[in-house]
Structure 1
Amino acid sequence: MTDCGCEQARRDLEEYLRNEVCSTEASDIRDHLENCESCRDEALVARTLTDVVARACKEAAPEELKAMVLARLREQQQAHA
């Protein structure tokens, strides 16, 4: 990416945040984010959302909830069998 504009930065933002772009692209996107408040704000929202989802995925449901969900699924399976 040689001339990283808003469209390009936003298109590659998710990959950038996951460190899945080459170093040249990462540098171009980083430079763009430093100079574009709108894209920087979007990157902040995306990073925050990614972090929250990652934390939520590490949490385990309480055993009681798991048992309730499984029981309900079994009920539904029996009702439609």
Structure 2
Amino acid sequence: MTDCGCEKARQDLEEYLRNEMCKTEHSDIREHLENCPSCRDEALVARTLTEVVARACKETAPEELRRQVLERLRLAQAAAH
């Protein structure tokens, strides 16, 4: 394995975090992140952000909010016609 460098690690960070690359490239980036605090910090931020967004997408709106939004949509549609 060989350290791929900061530029390559940052360029391919999203694919790395989603496991969308070959094992060799994945290993090279993992090795770089283990040895580069700056890139490791960037990867941590990206991973955390991805996890927060994923959790938010799984949440459902409270029923009252859902009802209010649907009612406003109906009113807007009625006013447009």
Q: What TM-score does the superposition give when structure 1 sets the normalisation length?
A: 0.88
| Counterpart position of 2:27 | 27
- Structure 1: distance between partners of 2:27 and 2:58: 31
Match runs of 1:12-51 below 5 Å: 12-51=12-51
- Structure 2: distance between partners of 1:72 and 1:38: 47
**Is the 2:3–2:29 Cα contact (8 Å) retained in structure 1?**
no
Match runs of 1:1-81 below 5 Å: 4-81=4-81
- Cα-to-partner distance string for 1:20-65 (whole Å, 9 max, x where unaligned): 1110010000011011111100000001111111111111111111
In angstroms, what is the RMSD of aligned CA positions? 1.4
Unaligned 5+ segments in structure 1 are: none
**Is the 2:3–2:32 Cα contact (8 Å) retained in structure 1?**
no
- Structure 2: distance between partners of 1:71 and 1:7: 50
- Structure 1: distance between partners of 2:33 and 2:66: 42
Unaligned 5+ segments in structure 2 are: none
Percentage identity across aligned positions? Answer: 77
SS of corresponding position for 1:65: helix
Relative distance call for 1:39 and 1:21 in structure 2 (3 A) is same
Q: What TM-score does the superposition give when structure 2 sets the normalisation length?
A: 0.88
| Shift, 1:7, TM fit | 1.4
